[in-house]
Amino acid sequence: MKKTLAVLLVLSLCFSLFACSNANSQDTVVDESYWDDAPTMKIAILTALTGASKETGDRAKRSVDYAVEQINANGGVLGKQLEVIYFDIGADQQSFINALQSAVNTEGISATIGYSTSTYTVAGSDIIRESQIPNITMGNSAGIFDLDNPYIWQARVPDKIGTEVLAKISFETYNVKNPAVVWMTDASGQSQHDAYVAAMESYGATIAADIGFDRTTTSDFNPIITQVMDSGSDGLALFCTNQQDGVLLAETVKQFDYPHPIGSSSGNFVYSFLDVLTDSAADGWYGVSEFNLDADIPIVKEYLAAMEERDTQGLGRPGWSEAAYYDSVYILTEAAKIANSTNPQKINEAMTQIKDIQGVMSSYSYHEDHSLANYLWVAEIDGNDIIIKEQVYRD
């Protein structure tokens, strides 16, 4: 009896493994006529539906669902309804890889959107390349460009450009000649740090303190800010996320009452970050903002009104990330129309013909580096509000 059960168990295991290995893949099941005959255009959305970043995922879902409703109400894409499938990237890189693999293995996927962490995109690059399915990522670090992956597209202005703008205004507007730089040591932070230091040194500035931190393990920023206070700097540049590391840094800097101008990466110019801080801890910060909620652009006003109406979970004002998800849906459907097909390879080729699509976060055009956004905004934080100073187009 026991032997029989053991044999049955082994056979079940073998059968399960066999079934998994024969999971549908785009190469074996889907051919050209599939794309013409498919009733829907499918886009996979990679975002956090569970875990510590769940609210980020809820925001993205709010935006994407709205975009899908609008597109389908206007007749869909090439006569087909647009369908999005959400894949939960969980709380870590491995979960993202699993979700990405699952997405590209799903039958009929024309494109994928997500995620906003550059490190994850770099880690998933090979999967995207092998799948030949275009991915629009919200990450914008130099590491993504270095991959030279023809299927990865960046929704945002590259970190390098945004950080060079930050350095320029630091030096010229805020008169920072001797900054302290505090930066997270992942792909995005490294990219911003390198661009900022190079730009500041090209202006003749000297770096007073250069302090990296691991954003996943650093909880206590007191030693770091103590060193900044002791460095003799006349300005501070912070390259962090708007998650726990950014909040902790902001609160710590506030506690120390740092007396000089503080510049920050674009990721912190978002209300979901400011609304968490106590006592307007980021008051006075300057930098580049990727999303102008006060822009006098009809699509922006319409989008904001819709987000407010759909805010059943108390998510508050939208930020650049969910605006980028929204715009990415439109970019991909526009590429499908240009290609006259929902075939992922044809959509990928058509992305090179994207020009001046006005979105919510920015307008979008093809650039050789595979980034799409055309402009961003110089901004300052006043209390808990983001005050836009001027619009800056990339050259």
Contact in structure between 120 and 96 (CB atoms under 8 Å): yes
Q: How far is the CB of 373 from another protein (least distance, A)?
A: 26
Q: Which of 169, 200, 240, 247 binds another protein (CB under 8 A)?
A: 247
* Residue 311, H or E segment: none
Q: Which of 24, 202, 222, 391 binds another protein (CB under 8 A)?
A: 222
Position 15 contacts another protein (CB under 8 A): no
Position 330 contacts another protein (CB under 8 A): no
The span of 116-124, 146-154, 247-255, 385-393 binding another protein (CB under 8 A) equals 247-255
Q: Which of 37, 257, 296, 356 binds another protein (CB under 8 A)?
A: 257
37/220 with CB nearer another protein: 220
Contact in structure between 18 and 58 (CB atoms under 8 Å): no
Position 217 contacts another protein (CB under 8 A): yes
Position 150 contacts another protein (CB under 8 A): no
- Residue carrying the six token digits 């168990």: 9
Position 181 contacts another protein (CB under 8 A): no
Q: How far is the CB of 255 from another protein (least distance, A)?
A: 5
C-alpha dist (Å) from residue 73 to 53, 67, 362: 31, 10, 23
Q: Alpha-carbon distance 27 to 132, whole Å?
A: 10
218/328 with CB nearer another protein: 218
Position 311 contacts another protein (CB under 8 A): no
Q: Which of 185, 352, 363, 365 binds another protein (CB under 8 A)?
A: 185
* Residue 193, H or E segment: helix 187-202
Q: Alpha-carbon distance 221 to 303, whole Å?
A: 37
Contact in structure between 27 and 344 (CB atoms under 8 Å): no
Packing angle, helices 320-339 and 54-73, rounded to 10: 40
Amino acid sitting at position 244: Q
Q: Single out the residue of 326, 337, 393 nearest to residue 365, CA to CA.
A: 393
Q: Which of 65, 234, 251, 369 binds another protein (CB under 8 A)?
A: 251
Q: Which of 53, 118, 119, 264 binds another protein (CB under 8 A)?
A: 53
Q: How far is the CB of 34 from another protein (least distance, A)?
A: 38
Token pair for residue 188?
């995005």
Amino acid sitting at position 387: I
Q: Which letter, b or e, does each residue of 267-288 get, where b requires 16 or more Cβ atoms within 10 Å of its Cβ?
A: bbbbbbbbeebeeebbbebbbb
Longest dimension (CA), the chain: 83
Q: Alpha-carbon distance 180 to 64, whole Å?
A: 39
Q: How far is the CB of 315 from another protein (least distance, A)?
A: 10
Position 282 contacts another protein (CB under 8 A): no
Q: Which of 115, 151, 196, 213 binds another protein (CB under 8 A)?
A: 213
Q: Which of 220, 309, 356, 395 binds another protein (CB under 8 A)?
A: 220
Q: How far is the CB of 298 from another protein (least distance, A)?
A: 31
210/385 with CB nearer another protein: 210
Residue 374 DSSP label: -
Contact in structure between 288 and 378 (CB atoms under 8 Å): yes
Q: Which of 131, 137, 190, 218 binds another protein (CB under 8 A)?
A: 218
- Residue 59 CB: number of other CB atoms within 10 A? 26
Q: Which of 30, 229, 304, 357 binds another protein (CB under 8 A)?
A: 229
The span of 1-9, 154-162, 199-207, 271-279 binding another protein (CB under 8 A) equals 271-279
Q: How far is the CB of 123 from another protein (least distance, A)?
A: 20
Q: Alpha-carbon distance 113 to 47, whole Å?
A: 9
Q: Alpha-carbon distance 121 to 154, whole Å?
A: 10
Which residues of this chain interact with another protein, rule CB under 8 A? Answer: 51-55, 185, 211-214, 217-220, 222-224, 226-227, 229-230, 243-244, 247-248, 251, 255-257, 272, 276-278
